[in-house]
Amino acid sequence: MTIVIEQFSLGGNGPTVMVKDTIDVAGLVTRASSQALADAAPATAHADVVQALLDKGCCLVAKTSLHELAFGTTGINRWTGTAPNPRYPGRIPGGSSSGSAAAVAAGLADFSLGTDTGGSVRIPACCCGVFGFKPTFGRVSRRGVMPTHTSLDCVGPFAASLPMLVSAMQAIDPTFVPVAAPDAPRLGVVKVPASASVQRVIDAAVADSRLPTQAMTLTGLEAAYEAGMVVINRETYDACGHLLETGRVGADIAARLTAAGTTTAQALAQAEQVRAQFTAEVDQALSEVDVLVLPTMPDFPLALVDATDTRAVLGMTAFVRPFNLSGHPALSIPLGSAEGLPVGLQLVGAKGADEQLLAIAGRLLERLYSRHDTVAR
Task: Indicate whether 302 belongs to any domain.
Answer: yes
CA distance 115 to 271: 22
pLDDT for the residue 310: 64
- pLDDT-based confidence at residue 377 (cuts at 50, 70, 90): very low
In the predicted structure, residue 376 carries a pLDDT above the cut 60 = no
User: Can you give the pLDDT at residue 313?
Assistant: 85
**pLDDT reported for residue 369:** 86
Is residue 354 within 8 A of residue 174, CB to CB? The reply is: no
Is pLDDT at 309 greater than 80 in this prediction?
Answer: no
Mean pLDDT of the chain: 96
- Check residue 370 and give its pLDDT: 79
Is residue 376 included in any domain, yes or no?
Answer: no
The stretch 21-29 carries a mean pLDDT of 98
Q: What is the CATH number of the domain that holds 21?
A: 3.90.1300.10
> Would you say residue 374 lies in a domain?
no
Closest Cα partner for 76 from 8, 7, 1, 169? 1
- Indicate whether 375 belongs to any domain: no
Q: Let me know if 120 is a catalytic residue.
A: yes
How far apart are alpha carbons 124 and 74 in whole angstroms? 8
Distances from the Cα of 306 to the Cα of 74, 88, 349, angstroms: 10, 15, 33
- With bands split at pLDDT 50, 70 and 90, how would you rate the model's confidence at 213? very high
For residue range 125-172, list pLDDT tens digits in order.
999 999 999 999 999 999 999 999 999 999 999 999 999 999 999 999
For residue 335, give Cα distances in angstroms to 56, 128, 192, 202: 31, 11, 18, 9
- Residue 377 included in any domain: no
Residue 37 has pLDDT above 90, yes or no: yes
Q: Quick check: is 20 in a domain?
A: yes
The reply to whether 279 falls in a domain is: yes
Q: What's the rounded mean pLDDT across residues 330-342?
A: 98
Residue 372: the pLDDT is 60
Domain that holds residue 283: 4-369
Which of 98, 100, 120, 209 is catalytic? The answer is 120
Catalytic residue among 96, 97, 100, 332: 96
Report, as an integer, the average pLDDT of 261-267.
98
| In the chain, % of residues over pLDDT 70 | 97
Nearest to residue 219, comparing CAs of 89, 314, 322, 132? 322
Count of structural domains within the chain: 1
Distance between CA atoms of 41 and 53, rounded to whole angstroms? Answer: 23
* Residue 208 lies inside a defined structural domain of this protein: yes
319 band by pLDDT with thresholds 50, 70 and 90: very high
- 20 catalytic per annotation: yes
pLDDT of residue 189: 98
Mean pLDDT calculated for residue range 298-307: 95
Average pLDDT, integer, range 74-93: 96
On the question of pLDDT at 312 being above 90, the answer is: no
